[in-house]
Amino acid sequence: MPFTTSTIKRTKIQKMSALAGAFAMKIAREKKDPLYEKMIRFKKAYKMVKRQLISKYGSKGKIAARTAAMR
């Protein structure tokens, strides 16, 4: 996808900021930076706990979502 194409309307400054962040993460991953490894480890732990919570409260969440959608 070219730099100027986006499904989200953003200003040029916002696009450059997002692109700079993406490249910073890419460079950190290539250099095997310990801070990057720490970020990934905690991201994986976050997703694991989130999956556990969804499996525990998923049915109640669906009921609440249906109720909210009907309003």
pLDDT in tens, 5-58: 657 788 889 989 989 999 999 999 999 999 999 999 999 999 999 999 999 999
The vertex-50 CA angle with 49 and 51, nearest 5°, equals 90
- The structure tokens listed for 71 are 């309003």
Q: Report the pLDDT value the prediction gives residue 1, as an integer from 0 to 100.
A: 47
Rounded to the nearest 10°, the torsion over CA 50, 52, 45, 64 is 10
- Write the single-letter amino acid at 47: K
pTM for the model: 0.61
Q: In whole angstroms, what is the distance from residue 63 CA to residue 34 CA?
A: 42
**CA gyration radius, the chain:** 19
- The structure tokens listed for 46 are 């976050």
